[in-house]
Structure 1
Amino acid sequence: MSDEKKMFKVTIDNITIEVEPGTSILNAARMIGGEVAPPAMCYYTKLKGSGGKCRTCLVEVAQGSTADPRPMPKLVASCRTNIMDGMVVKNITSEKVIDARKGVVEFLLINHPLDCPICDQAGECHLQDLSYEHGASGTRYQFPRRTFEKHDLGPYIQLHMTRCIMCFRCVYTADQVTNRRVHGILDRGEHAEIATYIKTALDNDFIGNVIDVCPVGALTDKTFRFKNRVWFLKPVDAHRDCPKCSGKVQLWYRGDEVFRVTARKDEFGEVEDWICNDCRFEKKKTADWVIEGPSKIDRHSVISANHYVGAHKPTEIEPEVMGRPPRLLMDIHSVSQVNQPSVDLSLLPGPAHSDDFNGKEK
């Protein structure tokens, strides 16, 4: 007998590929890539049990399989539906899918606050991208939005429950990545919320990863909040010898200052390697890391603005012409008179205050 594994053929948006049995429609579409891959707000490859909650990955199955060519009567969640041999799937080529996805986005935005201008997730928010690509220009919702009281989760993580879309990614992460889970879903129905019974309880070594898996601005880094915008920062790949994790991270620079540290992510916004709290929150100096080079950024992302990989810096001709290096070195702090020269904004324990920008020493 042949040892070759039987492969299934599937056609997604008129593109045919072969995949292994047990592959979901979503992962098969991701193998093709581009717009063929449906968006996903709750599914996460590294988290077992994730998916099937947000319904943004709905697709139309026009043909079930070669053995049973009948179409599936309803749209299905691509993250929870496996490929069958001969299956034909429509994603962006289906009007039903486009209309349904528009409705799902409208539903997700019913209670989501319109605070993108002040949200730290702006510029890398999956819901923001989804609303631009598939959302409506207005809303039909006329009732008060759901709100929650603030809940302190610990020294490093800020929870904005009013932004949460209940994807459960953070719960799965705490359950599967950390050594203990102390937060989860409280209450039921429209009163359900992410919270803990005991405040300031999220303090184990890998709990910071819930920030990376959150697709919206519900869980944010307290050490980075209100410090800077992601499109002003330049991410670079770096690593260090860490006894707890792989130590492979992204450093987010503005000038020579490291404003935050995050795990590296793939093209679908999923973490490649989980990192510990020490790497994420405590190591914010260039001397702590071995710099590998600029991160590869999707050209469609706002973070890619003025971010050029492989570009060659023009040669300075002034020293060559003058026969000496320039003698004028500008102190940007004294010229701008904005923040104090001794203040590193990324190292402030909380959000920057007006006293940090008055140009005067305390």
Structure 2
Amino acid sequence: MSDKIKVTIDGIPVEVEPGTSILNAARQIGGDIVPPAMCYYSKLEGSGGKCRTCLVKVSKGSEKDPRPMPKLVASCRTTVMDGMEVQNITSPEVIEARKGVVEMLLINHPLDCPICDQAGECHLQDLSYEHGAATTRYEFDRRTFDRVDIGDKIQLHMNRCILCYRCVFTADQITNNRVHGVLGRGDHAEISTYIEKAIDNDFSGNVIDVCPVGALTDKTFRFKNRVWFTKPVEAHRDCPTCSGKVTLWYKGEEVLRVTARKDVYGEVEEFICNTCRFDKKSTNDWVIEGPRQVSRQSVINSNHYDTLQPLPVIKKNPELMEANKEQFERATKF
């Protein structure tokens, strides 16, 4: 007999393993009913419960106790029960609460999307577009911090930080030398404490990939290009430190940056080392697999790069050159 339990989310039933969170149960269904998550990260133990963007309404607790939960709950931290019924996008209460959460996240966040390197792949941008208000009720000045260099490759913009703790969990769980964390409480909380020394380990660059906003940015890529003008290509190499599976971001024939591969929820599939991320920016360093598939809703897909073979591959193959002539000429104009 199956030990799975049945839960219904927005009228759609799904069977999941005991101990599954509401958020992960919704992810098994997929689509629009999946609650947004700014702090939860499936690869990081203990993450979640910080941002409250994944709030849902439990209209039926379980078959044994059908009473609804009195308040909205964080779906990333609430375990499903057999017979549970959950409302996400079908609940006006949830939509209104999420709007308030987004307003709270944007209280201190600067409106510098036009110059932010995270623009185009920022989860807060997506969230504010879907649930944000056109105006703010906040009348006080935003909090400001000085920029901090984390070694020579990463820069911290605390002004943009939403305190999701992802970078702290990453440094704590995939390295043995975490020297930073969250100091202070409330409006004075910030990522700090000897953070300049956090570059000492070979996996510190992963804090860039897990950051959902533009608080932690790659200094080697800063202001070089907009993400929607680049061509994401999947590649791999024989790396002794990590899996070596990455995404190369091309402009013409130049590799502007290297990132870890991410799933449909923007989470890293496998963490990569700093050598792959910062030191291997030549096509000759990699085995090209092909263009990376990007959601049609993503602004990155605006250039329709998915019809274009990687430029180095095209140039070495006359047949591909002729077949992709139009796309090649268009791509090399950037």
| 1:238 is aligned to 2:235 | yes
* SS at structure 1 position matched to 2:151: coil
| 1:255 to partner: Cα distance | 0.8
Residue of structure 2 in register with 1:298 after alignment: 295
| 1:107 to partner: Cα distance | 0.2
Residue of structure 1 in register with 2:324 after alignment: none
C-alpha separation in 2, matches of 1:86 and 1:287: 55
- Write the letter of the residue equivalent to 2:25: A
Residue of structure 2 in register with 1:43 after alignment: 40
Contact 2:291 2:308 in 1 (8 A): no
Identity of aligned residues (%): 74
C-alpha separation in 2, matches of 1:187 and 1:311: 49
* SS at structure 2 position matched to 1:199: helix
Residue of structure 2 in register with 1:343 after alignment: none
C-alpha separation in 1, matches of 2:308 and 2:292: 13
Structure 1, gaps ≥5 residues long: 313-318, 320-329, 339-362
C-alpha separation in 1, matches of 2:308 and 2:255: 22
| 1:216 is aligned to 2:222 | no
Equivalence map 1:164-313=2 (5 Å): 164-197=161-194, 199-309=196-306
Residue of structure 2 in register with 1:115 after alignment: 112
| 1:199 to partner: Cα distance | 3.1
- Write the letter of the residue equivalent to 1:88: E
* SS at structure 2 position matched to 1:16: strand
Contact 2:178 2:198 in 1 (8 A): no
C-alpha separation in 2, matches of 1:200 and 1:134: 38
Q: How many residues align?
A: 315
C-alpha separation in 1, matches of 2:166 and 2:195: 20
C-alpha separation in 1, matches of 2:170 and 2:159: 20
Contact 1:59 1:90 in 2 (8 A): yes
Query: TM-score of the superposition, structure 1-length normalised?
Result: 0.84
Residue of structure 1 in register with 2:61 after alignment: 64
Task: Decide which structure has the larger Cα Rg and report it.
Answer: 1
* SS at structure 1 position matched to 2:155: strand
Spell out, residue by residue over 1:10-35, the C-alpha distance to the aligned partner (whole angstroms, 9 max, x if none): 00011001001000000000011111
Contact 1:151 1:195 in 2 (8 A): no
- Write the letter of the residue equivalent to 2:71: K
| 1:310 to partner: Cα distance | 5.1
Contact 2:255 2:283 in 1 (8 A): yes
| 1:118 to partner: Cα distance | 0.4
- The alignment yields a C-alpha RMSD, in angstroms, of 1.9
Spell out, residue by residue over 1:171-208, the C-alpha distance to the aligned partner (whole angstroms, 9 max, x if none): 00000011210111122221111123263442310000
Spell out, residue by residue over 1:285-331, the C-alpha distance to the aligned partner (whole angstroms, 9 max, x if none): 0000000000010111000112243579xxxxxx9xxxxxxxxxx9x
| Higher share of residues assigned helix | 2
Contact 2:59 2:67 in 1 (8 A): yes
C-alpha separation in 2, matches of 1:228 and 1:142: 34
C-alpha separation in 2, matches of 1:189 and 1:136: 23
- Write the letter of the residue equivalent to 1:223: T
C-alpha separation in 1, matches of 2:32 and 2:24: 13
C-alpha separation in 1, matches of 2:85 and 2:145: 43
Spell out, residue by residue over 1:259-288, the C-alpha distance to the aligned partner (whole angstroms, 9 max, x if none): 000000000000000000000000000000
Contact 2:179 2:197 in 1 (8 A): no
- Write the letter of the residue equivalent to 2:117: D
Contact 1:258 1:285 in 2 (8 A): yes
- Write the letter of the residue equivalent to 2:237: R
- Write the letter of the residue equivalent to 1:155: D
Contact 1:24 1:83 in 2 (8 A): yes
Structure 2, gaps ≥5 residues long: 310-317, 319-328
C-alpha separation in 2, matches of 1:309 and 1:193: 40
Among 65, 78, 81, which residue is 1:81 paired with? 78
Contact 2:256 2:281 in 1 (8 A): yes
- Write the letter of the residue equivalent to 2:88: N
